[in-house]
Structure 1
């Protein structure tokens, strides 16, 4: 394989693409993704239907200088193990029980308390998962959580709530790293959880961040696979050219023209069957003396050339700097560092349709669920396959499906929209 480094974080990146597509079906283009799997949580910010791009990333101790979707990862997943740290405080992750032996509730030999075990103790997970393919052992989960509860002198429920709370805190910190730390207010975005455990913790994460709306896609467990089918074909071209902004841009415009031709040639040779194509110009800029750049983007048509203007570049840079850092210095010198061109070809998409709801939208059972230490709440369990557009309920509720479980706390409403996405509204978000 040529350039295997390009596959880094490709799974979560595909999920972000799938999230953007699912959000568009519900007319929601400003999203923060929350992908919770077995070992980690991956988050990404989508603004105006477009994912944020990072040009430099540190992965497993290696600095990667390639443009990729800006994914932030923390070790908090369904299999993340709760333990007592050297400071005597409870931690969750990054160590994971994995798939084998897995969480204690799987009944496959695992005996360490995990996030999944905490959810089982709290009544938030059904007694069977994956359409009945995996039976949950609540007693094993209780025994595992009790170990850490006894160490800390807590009740089983309080320990389980603590495990979930610590995991949620880790997730919210990850979201702040892609939102508030980059000039975006998370309250202006909807949260899209996916992965098997995304829907279990989405409401708590949203509440902590002040997010009022959650959108759960139709098939959250396979959204990454959907994203791979929906992804555009792309190639990036870059030239480093460092110059102060203020004089002639003749050489910069020459580079832009060269890169534009390279991108158009690539589209012509590699994406002949594309439904639509285009180029995106990005100029990396910074104040002189800074050691980090801000990308300033310009969209180009495939049959015209760009003629960059000093004042246009300055204003675009000021806008990006103000959004990211909250201030600008209009008198400080600015320099260009890199010129980037991305060729994009939108391929013919497979237009998948969601199956029609089957059965009646009635609870199949009731669970005692702990949302707080004060006591359990009798909570109805609905099969998602029976929920038709227009269906709405007031929490608490649990929605189950083959690939995921969604928790609807009290003070939260749930509605099924025309795209069969679940829309949750949190009334008491901060």
Structure 2
């Protein structure tokens, strides 16, 4: 087992090394340039589209509203990455890692936009009459039969990665949070979370979308309000925290307190890796959910979909990072969810840790739901729609397993598979970028005439 662990660690070091960072950031920057930085210029327009997408003016084809599709995407991204992932990035890469998370998000908005555009453009209708899309369909229908192996590779990586990053890692985080804050045994948490998961995912994308549409906005607002309270209680430390983040992005962070110090490269590596873990820009998952949204234009879906990265990283992750920085706990030597919990408890003694535990549990639960749909679509691409119900059963069982086992190895494998998912997706985005640019130009020209 030690040899396997060492091998996976070696592979992880390669796939999350400099070449992957260059590929992810480079693809996002390339798409931003090709699009004339439209995703950044249209942030205000995108937020307006999100608000209107609850009840679209022009419904189009699909199973759920574009808003529900976005909430399904956010349900899969707002979770441990925003709470534990940000804290880990700061603990291992220093405050400068936050800056590189921002940069990953800004270039990632173009990546996410392109992912959704090609997913909707090349989506199919399956034998149940439901729309199916994502990188595997974009590769298959956009690049042609000769690239079929790349579509299969993405589906395999995505279908396997989901059980780690989107399932057992999340349920394990819920179990740890409930045990630490309330003393609940892992098996009790496992039974409850597995039962809730099964009740939702057995209803397919419509039920997942309905739950996400209600839970995500409410929980996001509660989380932001809670962090604002933490920031207001430490408002004098806020300017210094922002300055530390920016200066640390370009110079090594010295050791202080329990923090061991970090080189600039560590900040870049952990900022990019945790940023991708949080917002999933480059993995292609957003297109899988957005392909089920009702729309008549891929660009309309893309405009809404790209805001997922902005909301997830620029808003939610930044709030977590600032809470950790202004309370000073980043120098304590803690990492992960424990570091975020220390920030909340420092500002809100007596109930801050419990509040964060509840928020983390709900966010992680919605991540399990969102990734259930991603994984199901990957296996359906490989095996057909007959795989749906067996997958849902196995997925529910895996949720329980995640709450009662140690998952250090699962984290490592899942992180590696995340990178492997990104490779076929990013290759397809570069190859299909002329299509994305053409569709965008046509939509914007048409929108100006309306």
Taking structure 1 as the reference length, what is the TM-score of the superposition?
A: 0.25
Considering Cα pairs closer than 8 Å and 6+ residues apart, tell me whether 1 or 2 has the greater RCO.
Answer: 2
